[in-house]
Chain A
Amino acid sequence: MSKTITIEPVSRVEGHAKITIQLDDQGHVLDTRFHVLEFRGFEAFCEGRHFQEMPAITSRICGICPVSHMLASADAGDRLLAVEIPDTALLLRRVVNLAQIVQSHALSFFYLSSPDMLLGYDADPATRNVLGVARLNPELARRGIRLRQFGQSVIDIIAGKRIHPSWAVAGGVIAALSPEGRDLILAGLPEALATATSTLEWFRGALDNHTMEVDTFGHFPTLFLGMVSPDGTLETYGGRLRLMDATGTIIADQLDAKAAKALLAEQVEPWSYLKSPYYAPLGPVDGAYRVGPLARLNVADRCGTPLADEELHRFRARASGPVLASFHYHYARLIEILYGLERIGQLLDNADALGTDILARASRNRTHGIGMSEAPRGTLFHDYTVDENGLITRLDLLIATGQNNLAMNRTVTQIAKAFVDDAHLTEGMLNRVEAGIRAFDPCLSCSTHAAGTMPLVVDLVAADGSVLQTLSRPS
């Protein structure tokens, strides 16, 4: 008799989702689906508003990565004004975006995913959370919290507010960085760097215990999309996009947001609110691509900072071509934290950092503009069409998590086939399915949810709809 296993909600991710696993008559996994159950409607209610309000409005989409939305939106605004923003404005936007990546990666790794790695996938769910980490390895938990705090404080110092700053605007930014602010950031860098390097050491040591997860948590060929600078170095803001295939061949390079988006198409599934973009020339199966830390490190020639490049070398030694294992999103995330911190130091060590030429003033000069930023979870596009007065007539947001949707669905199928067996259904097996999703650090609602406290109910449903077995995790 065929059965369906439902994991709802998926815990320790940002947002609400459920996973269904369809079993065949023999109890083997037939198919899986990753459903995103939220509907936000931002694209509809921004219509009629002025494009210069968009950085402040769209940053409200997310409490974890508001900076990414603010910066992608401001970039789209720059296109509508048809201006090149001052060097200082670009530099400061880059620093704030890196700080955003550092704090979000710290949240993903230390708060959401380290419980699985430290306590084990089969540990009691009541302790398999950040509090459990704090009990078992208080130093790791403390450092993780401090690291996230550092990233947040950089955003606060430069943009004036930790969450939802209204600082980047079309044409530049509205506040310069003070010498005191720069010194405060630079003073915090050594401790943050020490945390990043020691965590990487610990992670490398723990990798040997996770070979099964590395092989099954979304290990398959896809395309990779990420931002690079003109010379191919890793970049997270104000760069161009590069698309690479699973063998390491560069398919397209130095694409601006408009050219890149023209290459993408979207597939809509009736069972999920999350659309599935793919590289149009190859179709939805072969055109599936991944974005985010793993993709960025795969497509870039180098990080461009000494410690991160050293680690990137070790990272690349794990595969003959691009690293295909989605489990290594965790590894890539830690390398990006290191890169982000080093790069913040490099950028702030530049005379332009304290410049006061920060805003290019202009009227609307175009009616269509696409902006982008590398959000912690991957490339984020903001696509605005406006009328002659600058009021939005069409708004299209392509978020990173959506672009990983096809890969996340495949990941769930791969893990379910490897671990889920009708005859021996355990909570640990289902947690592995969730953990596969967690490796992508999806931001489903783009809103903050407490870690590890969401209730999990798994129903085994027979073909006739009757519940055969229920596993529940207390909230």
Chain B
Amino acid sequence: MSVTTLTMNGTLVSAAEGATLLAVAREHHIPIPTLCHFEGLSEVGACRLCLVEVEGSNRLQAACMTKAVEGMTVTTNSETLRSYRRQIVELLLAERNHVCAVCVANHTCELQNLAVSMGVHHVRYEPQAPQLSMDASHPRWILDHNRCVLCTRCVRVCDEIEGAHTWDLMGRGRHTLVISDLHEPWGQSESCTSCGKCVRVCPTGALFEKGTSATNKDPHFVTYLKMAREQKLWNR
């Protein structure tokens, strides 16, 4: 296997051919914030939090979607990047109705953790406060569009791991909604196998279990399942 060599934050690093910049950074313990990325699922580059600077390019690149190239010079942390990432988190918080204090995902929410790590204690943008519904028709779980950040982890895990493809997207821009089947109530979905993987990988409180006041998700289980299937290693 040929090896690619590139410079990341002034340090020479090596990468397997075809590896993404995000994978290279993770391998070398260089932190890059992510939200839509999920180990074991395909990449979509939806959240833009993993933006990095690549020398010679006049625009920022999503590390999860950009392949490492021989001789590339990459910066993963700069004032510009921190500013953009902060804005992205603030825009996500302003777009729908994220009220941490009364959210089931309080303290286990990846969006909340990102906000805390970036020092987002205020949102500078006008809250959009859209009137969005909840789908509580499933016997075990609830979908709350108010807390959805459209990362599409649920869509991908359902399609790529479970093979059911119950979830998909409807609409455009901020009006986009995650829907089940052909926009039918989740509880009436014929394709849903009630496996619960979508609930486990949801980074916020958008998908949660009925009857608990706090989420206790185990998202790593899905990554384990994927690796175990591929490598035939079933030890957790």
Give A21 to B186 CA distance when docked, in angstroms: 58
Q: Does B104 contact A (CB under 8 A)?
A: yes
The answer to whether A363 touches B136 (Cβ under 8 A) is no
| Complex contact B213–A174 (CB within 8 A) | yes
Chain B CB within 10 Å — which of A48, A53, A169 has the most? A53
Q: A204 an interface residue at 8 Å Cβ cutoff? A: no
Smallest CB gap from B186: residue in A:
A389
- Check if A169 sits within 8 Å of B133, measured CB to CB: no
Give the interface residue-count category, chain B. Answer: 10 to 19
- Say yes or no for B173: interface residue by CB 8 A criterion: no
B136 near A50 with CB under 8 A, answer yes
Set B135, B139, B211: member contacting A170, Cβ < 8 A? B211
B213 touches A56 (CB 8 A): yes
Within 8 A of B (CB), among A367-422: 389-391
Q: Are B214 and A49 in contact, with the CB atoms below 8 A?
A: no
A170: chain B residues within 8 A (beta carbon): 211
Are A361 and B104 closer than 8 Å at their CB atoms?
no
In the complex, per-residue mask of A425-452: 1 if CB is within 8 Å of any chain B CB, else 0 = 0000000000000000000000000000
Task: Determine the chain A residues whose CB is within 8 A of the CB of B136 once the complex forms.
Answer: 50, 389-391
Bound-state Cα–Cα, A389 to B214, Å: 19
The answer to whether A56 touches B104 (Cβ under 8 A) is yes
Contact for B212 among A49, A169, A363, CB less than 8 A: A169
CB distance from B97 to the nearest CB of A (A): 10
Minimum Cβ distance to chain A for residue B132 (Å)? 9
B131 → chain A closest CB, angstroms: 8
Chain A residue with the shortest CB-CB distance to B133: A48
- A20 at interface by CB-CB < 8 Å: no
Interchain CB contact (< 8 A) of B101 among A55, A164, A361 = A164
B174 within 8 A of A: no
A461 at interface by CB-CB < 8 Å: no
Residues on A with C-beta less than 8 A from B28 are none
Q: Which residues of B contact A237 (CB under 8 A)?
A: none
Known contacts: A48-B134, A389-B137, A391-B134. The answer to whether A53 contacts B211 by CB under 8 A is: no
Q: How far is the CB of A367 from chain B (nearest CB, A)?
A: 13
The answer to whether A174 touches B214 (Cβ under 8 A) is: yes
Known: A60-B101, A164-B101, A391-B136. A52 touches B211 (CB 8 A): yes
What 1/0 mask marks residues of chain B from 206 to 236 whose CB sits below 8 Å from any chain A CB? 0000111110000000000000000000000
Asked whether any CB of chain A lies closer than 8 Å to the CB of B102, the reply is yes
Within 8 A of B (CB), among A19-64: 48-50, 52-53, 55-57, 60
- Whole-angstrom distance from the CB of B89 to the nearest CB of chain A? 23
Residues of B within 8 A of A55 (CB): 213
Binding site for B on A (CB under 8 A): 48-50, 52-53, 55-57, 60, 164, 166-171, 174, 359, 361, 363, 389-391
A-B pairs, top 6 by smallest CB distance, nearest first, are A166-B213, A389-B136, A57-B102, A56-B213, A169-B213, A389-B137
Given A174-B214, A389-B187, 10 further pairs, Cβ under 8 A: A52-B210, A52-B211, A55-B213, A166-B106, A168-B213, A171-B211, A359-B211, A361-B211, A363-B139, A389-B136
6 A-B residue pairings within 8 Å (CB atoms): A48-B133, A52-B211, A52-B213, A55-B213, A359-B211, A389-B187
Residues of B within 8 A of A (CB): 101-102, 104, 106, 133-137, 139, 142, 187, 210-214
